[in-house]
């Protein structure tokens, strides 16, 4: 399980035990599941139309292409075709990194994620 999920779950259980979630505003009412709260109100209709039409942001399209290309490369043996696909994959990753306006998620880089979690676990044992 992801270390962040484990830590979050532990904190939630502690808050429940302490009664921190009792008498909160909105208790007993359903959660508003409007996923467009981050979109300015005047653009919400346009975003919904684009979403329903199957249009996705360029960054997301590129991420899908990268994932598909990784699967393809895994199925290829060592050959010139694989080398060409690796070059193409590296180009797409570089293009995606240039498009990003936010930090990279560790979950996308498993080799760094594992080292990060080891450090977090080692430091959390000091509590």
Does residue 4 form part of some domain?
no
Does residue 103 form part of some domain?
yes
Task: Give the model confidence (pLDDT) of 49-82 as tens digits.
Answer: 888 898 888 888 888 898 899 888 888 888 888 8
pLDDT tops 70 at residue 99: yes
Does residue 114 form part of some domain?
yes
Does residue 99 form part of some domain?
yes
Number of independent structural domains in the chain:
1
Mean pLDDT of 25-41: 75
- Using alpha carbons, list the distances in angstroms from residue 78 to 41, 45, 70, 94: 51, 48, 14, 23
Does residue 36 form part of some domain?
no
Does residue 53 form part of some domain?
no
Does residue 45 form part of some domain?
no
pTM score above 0.95: no
Domain that holds residue 79: 59-127
């Amino acid at each position: 399980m992801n270390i962040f999920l484990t830590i979050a779950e532990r904190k939630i259980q502690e808050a429940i035990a302490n009664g921190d979630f009792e008498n909160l505003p909105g208790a007993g009412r359903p959660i508003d599941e409007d996923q467009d709260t981050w979109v300015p109100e005047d653009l919400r209709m346009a975003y919904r139309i684009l979403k329903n039409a199957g249009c996705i942001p360029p960054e997301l399209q590129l991420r899908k292409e990268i994932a598909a290309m990784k699967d393809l490369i895994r199925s290829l043996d060592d050959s010139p075709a694989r080398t060409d696909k690796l070059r193409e994959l590296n180009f797409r990753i570089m293009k995606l990194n240039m498009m990003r306006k936010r930090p990279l998620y560790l979950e996308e880089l498993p080799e760094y994620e594992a080292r990060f979690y080891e450090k977090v676990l080692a430091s959390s044992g000091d509590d």
